[in-house]
Structure 1
């Protein structure tokens, strides 16, 4: 007798998960100042009292949004980085792919978090504190990987290279169509096109920094 394979139905999101997801969209659409707790509670389909019970304040809710998404992004980044052979001639390209692909892909939360991500880089004291807590430990691992992949590269130059690569990511991550418009195209580029452009640009720039450092020593 044959038995039909059971289909596992994903559990519905909890109230806390719905609140954080709703807040992520609200902060992306309206910024921190423009996002209201009442509107977030409506979007999450919970009472405002429940929202305040779990998160207390808008600052705390914003912090939880960044912490949740940064963990998803950085877990994928570290997993990809761990698979890179740092002695491979193409190691630098693979390191950059590990840096760029997660925030551009599903782990990055699509359009919602990308706007928050960009704001973190140029934000105020609150954002700087979150970047230090949520992103700096992962950044240090990428800086060490750059040093290992490019013999003779100092920590100073590797950190500079990492920061400039991150800046290039911030410019394109919103996928708002501006680059395509400047290119004279109405068709949005695919994820792979954006990714390969970043990797090519980043590889060239980082190798130029490494060469300049070598000339100065």
Structure 2
């Protein structure tokens, strides 16, 4: 199969970028295809050609960001998983740092708002897509946490990892009380966020 042309790739990326912004503003149901074609400067045929349906477009918005994020997470985890010297903090860093880097990337903060929408809106199709495509990464992390926390039941590990994930999404969204000070760079603020979040999460995971 021939590689897609640069023009086709450009059109597809333009549609994805416009969709991400509209979904962040209006939600998945609230954003219409008419708004999308206007924002992306394309016609409906182009959207149908590249994605086929609105549900598939929503999935591709997530895939564009989450494939990269979970690739970085998996690589980081592979460096520490199973080693006798690995700590809870090492595994948390592999889970948290790539996500915070994404949230501060160009377009990353916008995607965080889309991600928050995904958790807030009751969309079974989207939930199934996220579970089918990214559940295996969470299982890899949960397995490593369970190895390092043998005093916890499997169910308790899942509870605690789920709460850590919630805290991470909150930190990624940038809507909390702690905002970057004017004398602190984005990089410094991200490192401070990671440091506090890893310390907080480690305490929660290891609690007796």
Tell me whether the two structures share a fold, i.e. TM-score over 0.5: yes
TM-score after normalising by structure 1: 0.78
Tell me what 1:47 maps to: 43
> Which of the pair has the greater relative contact order for Cα pairs under 8 Å at 6+ separation?
2
Shift of 1:207: 0.4
Structure 2: gaps (5+ residues): 1-5
Tell me what 2:119 maps to: 121
Q: CA contact under 8 A between 1:70 and 1:134: conserved in structure 2? A: no
Shift of 1:89: 5.1
Shift of 1:136: 1.1
Tell me what 2:61 maps to: 65
For residue 135 of structure 1, give the secondary structure of its aligned residue in structure 2.
helix
Distance 1:103 1:121 in 2: 16
Shift of 1:45: 2.8
Q: CA contact under 8 A between 1:103 and 1:114: conserved in structure 2? A: no
Q: CA contact under 8 A between 2:81 and 2:144: conserved in structure 1? A: no
Q: CA contact under 8 A between 2:23 and 2:114: conserved in structure 1? A: yes
Q: Do residues 156 (structure 1) and 155 (structure 2) align?
A: yes
2:80 to 81, 84, 87: 84
Shift of 1:201: 0.7
- Alignment: residue pair count: 195
Deviations 1:32-75 (A, max 9, x none): 12222222223333222211222232222111111222211111
Distance 1:85 1:50 in 2: 44
Tell me what 1:105 maps to: 101
Distance change in 2, residues 1:205/1:29 (3 Å) = same
Deviations 1:172-208 (A, max 9, x none): 21113x3127xxx865871111111110110000000
| Alpha-carbon RMSD | 2.4
Distance 2:98 2:194 in 1: 10
Distance 2:27 2:130 in 1: 17
Distance 1:89 1:199 in 2: 17
Q: Do residues 195 (structure 1) and 191 (structure 2) align?
A: no
Distance 1:24 1:72 in 2: 16
Q: Do residues 95 (structure 1) and 91 (structure 2) align?
A: yes
Shift of 1:85: 5.0
For residue 150 of structure 2, give the secondary structure of its aligned residue in structure 1.
coil
Tell me what 2:15 maps to: 19
Distance 1:180 1:186 in 2: 9
Between structure 1 and structure 2, the one with the greater Rg is: 1
